[in-house]
Amino acid sequence: MTIKPASLNFRLAAVAGLLSLAALVGCSSAPTGTEMATQEAPVSEAADSSVSAESAGDRSSSIPTPNLQHSPQLIKNASLRIELANVEEAVQAISSILADNQGDLLFLSDQENQVTQPRQVSLQIRVPQGNLDNTLEALRNLGNVAEQSIAAEDVAAQLVDLQARVRNLRKSEEALLEIMERSGSIPDVLEVSRELSTIRETIERQDAQLKALQSRVAYSTISLSLISTQPLATTTSPVGETLNQTWQTATSSAKTVGVSLLQLTLWLLVFSPYIGLLVLGGWAGQRYRRRHQSAAEQTDAA
């Protein structure tokens, strides 16, 4: 089959036209510089907004927002002074009251001196704050309440402040741990390690204060005094007891006198040389005086 030159030229022109048409369509569909900038602007703005949101979130998490409407956190302390007849039964009853109200006995002092003043037992107990009213009511029923007082202190602001400090210190600790994981020079690592040790020590101290404050809020303390109303014992003693006391006093005095005489003997024994010299000097002087006196009398007689 023979292809004519005219038909060949026609086919080449058609192919060239199709290629030109495809190139024009591609150029028309591609975005221009202005359109690309317009499309990339929302993406960059979205990225910037996400970065700013993350940084704002970090700042908001590192700087606590003050809660002005926090619920009160009260530390309650109570004091009771009760007069009753039987102190022993009251102490046993207090043990049952503490067991019923999940309380603990912190301190007990029994002062029994029935000669000069009535018996007094001092106790310090601790109960959960929710059981404080029930415990006080049960204690009041033990006898006659002579004195009572209740004091409360709101420490909500201190708790919020300590919690915020501990939270920020822990974030600083995490940041320093991330820095230590990176490679660096030995002086830099040592500096970060010292800073990390200081922060951890501060965290432990602040955390201990926080737990102690929370414990004081959770538990209330009651200072209790039990005064016996029983009459004091008579000061008169029987004859046998009087004689016994006299004998003990006399023997004690005899021991004291004996010890004093022994001490005096030891003193004389130690200073005996000096005493001997003094006695000898006195005797020699008296003898000389007598001789001189007798000689004078003989002279007067002659």
CATH number at residue 106: 3.30.70
Claim to verify: residue 146 and residue 95 sit in the same structural domain: yes
Last residue of a domain, one of 106, 122, 152: 152
Residue ranges, the chain, pLDDT below 50: 1-68
Q: Is residue 27 part of a domain?
A: no
Structure tokens at 259: 């010890």
What is the DSSP track for 229-263?
A: -SPPPPS---HHHHHHHHHHHHHHHHHHHHHHHHH
Residue 80 forms part of a structural domain: yes
Domain count, the chain: 2
pLDDT (0 to 100) of residue 232: 64
Both 138 and 83 in one domain: the answer is yes
**Residue 198: predicted pLDDT:** 92
Indicate whether 22 belongs to any domain.
no
Domain stops at, among 152, 175, 199: 152
| pLDDT recorded at residue 57 | 40
- Say if residue 169 is in the same domain as residue 143: no
Quick check: is 17 in a domain? no
* pLDDT computed for residue 203 by the predictor: 93
Q: Tell me: do 139 and 162 sit in the same domain.
A: no
Task: Answer yes or no: do 98 and 165 share one domain.
Answer: no
Assess if residue 272 is contained within a domain: no
Using an 8 Å Cβ cutoff, are 170 and 196 in contact?
Answer: no
Q: Residue 99 is part of which domain span?
A: 76-152
Give which of 108, 89, 85, 107 is closest to 97, Cα–Cα.
Answer: 89
In the sheet with 219-228, reading across from the earlier edge strand, the strands are 104-111, 120-128, 219-228, 74-84, 144-154
Same domain? For 174 and 130 the reply is no
Q: Do 199 and 177 sit in the same domain of this protein?
A: yes
pLDDT, position 16:
44
Q: For residue 23, what are its two tokens? A: 């190139």
Q: Do both 171 and 133 map to the same domain?
A: no
In a domain, 110, yes or no: yes
In a domain, 186, yes or no: yes
224, 125 contact by CB (below 8 A): yes
According to the model, what pLDDT value does residue 62 have?
Answer: 39
Single pTM value for the model: 0.50
CATH code for the domain in which residue 162 is found: 1.20.58
Same domain, 140 and 206: no
* Domain presence at residue 275: no
Last residue of a domain, one of 217, 236, 258: 217
* pLDDT at residue 139 in the model: 93
